[in-house]
Amino acid sequence: MSESLVPNIELKKYHDKEKELKRLREMNCVMATENEKLREEVKKWVQQAVNTQRDLDEAKRKLLELEKENDSLNTEAIQVRKKNKRLLRNIANLHEEIEAKKTAIEIEVLQHSIKEYKSQLIEAKSKNRFLQKVVNNSESQLLICHKARKVVTDDYAQLIENIKNVDRFHDMEGRVQDIEA
pLDDT of residue 4: 60
Which residue range(s) make up the domain with 98? 2-180
d(CA 103, CA 88): 22
117 contacts 64 by C-beta, under 8 angstroms: no
- Confidence band (pLDDT; 50, 70, 90) for 120? very high
Whole-number percent of the chain with pLDDT over 70: 90
Q: What is the DSSP letter of 7?
A: H
Q: Which helix (H) or strand (E) holds 118?
A: helix 53-180
Put simply, whether the predicted model's pTM sits higher than 0.75 gets the answer no
**Domains contained in the chain, number:** 1
Q: At CA 115, angle to CA 109 and CA 116, rounded to 5?
A: 90
Which backbone phi and psi does 52 adopt, to 5 degrees?
-70, 150
Q: For a pLDDT cut of 90, what percent of the chain falls above it?
A: 35
Instruction: For residues 125 and 78, give the distance between their C-alpha atoms in angstroms, rounded to a whole number.
Output: 69
pLDDT (tens digit per residue) in 5-62? 666 888 888 888 899 889 888 888 888 888 888 888 877 776 765 456 677 788 789 9
